[in-house]
Structure 1
Amino acid sequence: MEQSNFNNFETGQKLPNATAVLILGILSIITCCCYGVLGLILGIVALFLANKDKALYAINPQAYTNYSNLNIGRILAIIGIVLNVVYLILTVWMIMTFGLEGMQDPQAVQEKMREIMGQ
């Protein structure tokens, strides 16, 4: 009888970091406009935790119930990382092209963009 109760408890376990991975994945997408740095960090942490839980799930898949949350969070983290890398590259390009002072003046940025697009 005790073995049966233990197994029933075990089948209802949740992966320890699945909710955290989901939240971090969402936050990595939301914060992609913070120059790509904050969201990139959140996405990498989410992927690290997801891989850790995925390995735990691979050992005993029947014991855990919230693998879908982990998988969705992992996908969101990957999307967040890609968005943040693109935004970071765009920010670096703009700083290299216009300079920090030049980015303060929107009209100068528009004129420079017209020059670049016209070529």
Structure 2
Amino acid sequence: MERQVLPNSTLILVFGILSILTCCCYGIIGLIFGIIALIMAKKAKQIYMAEPELYKGYNNVKSGKILAIIGIVLSAIYLIGTIIAFAYYGIEGLQEMQEEMMREYGGGGADF
């Protein structure tokens, strides 16, 4: 009997990668992708452990799970940092800091 690809194994890997790539989107999008990947990995592991000789692609599930955990941690750190920055400086203070950085590094547009 030919072995089947484990359901959602590639999708779990992709969501794990996306959780790391999107962790800087205020942490929220990375958390969403990471949590979804972990839930899907848990279900895929249960399916695989029931009959491991029927499925292949478990390495994608393991890799995706590890990437999802890393993405969740990075997203949580970024989200906590963002919350602390908003609590400490407020929205006006952050806007002033951004404007000052734009002036300092010449990001105000091209001078022709």
Question: Could you tell me the TM-score, scaled by structure 1's length?
Answer: 0.80
Tell me which protein shows more helix as a share of its residues: 1
**2:96 and 2:63 mapped to 1: Cα distance?**
41
Q: Distance in 2 between matches of 1:107 and 1:78?
A: 31
Distance 1:102 1:85 in 2: 23
Pair 1:74 & 2:42 matched = no
Alignment match of 2:92 (pick from 93, 101, 105): 101
User: Within 1, Cα distance between the matches of 2:62 and 2:41?
Assistant: 8
Find the structure with the greater CA-based Rg: 1
Alignment RMSD (CA, Å)? 1.7
What are the ranges of 5 or more consecutive residues in structure 1 without an aligned counterpart? 1-7, 111-119
Q: Which residue is 1:65 aligned to? A: 56
Percent identity over paired residues? 50
Cα 1:60–1:109 shift into 2, 3 Å: farther
Q: Identify unmatched segments of 5+ residues in structure 2.
A: 102-112
Letter in 1 for 2:36: V
| Distance in 1 of aligned mates of 2:53 and 2:67 | 24
C-alpha separation in 2, matches of 1:67 and 1:38: 25
**Number of matched pairs:** 101
Q: TM-score, normalised by structure 2?
A: 0.85
Aligned to 1:27: 18
Counterparts in 2 of 1:36 and 1:107: CA distance versus 1, 3 Å? closer
Aligned to 2:30: 39
Runs of 4+ in 1 over 4 A off after TM superposition: 107-110
The 8 Å contact of residues 102 and 109 in structure 1, kept in 2 or not, is answered as no
**CA 76–107 in structure 1, closer or farther in 2 if over 3 Å, else same:** closer
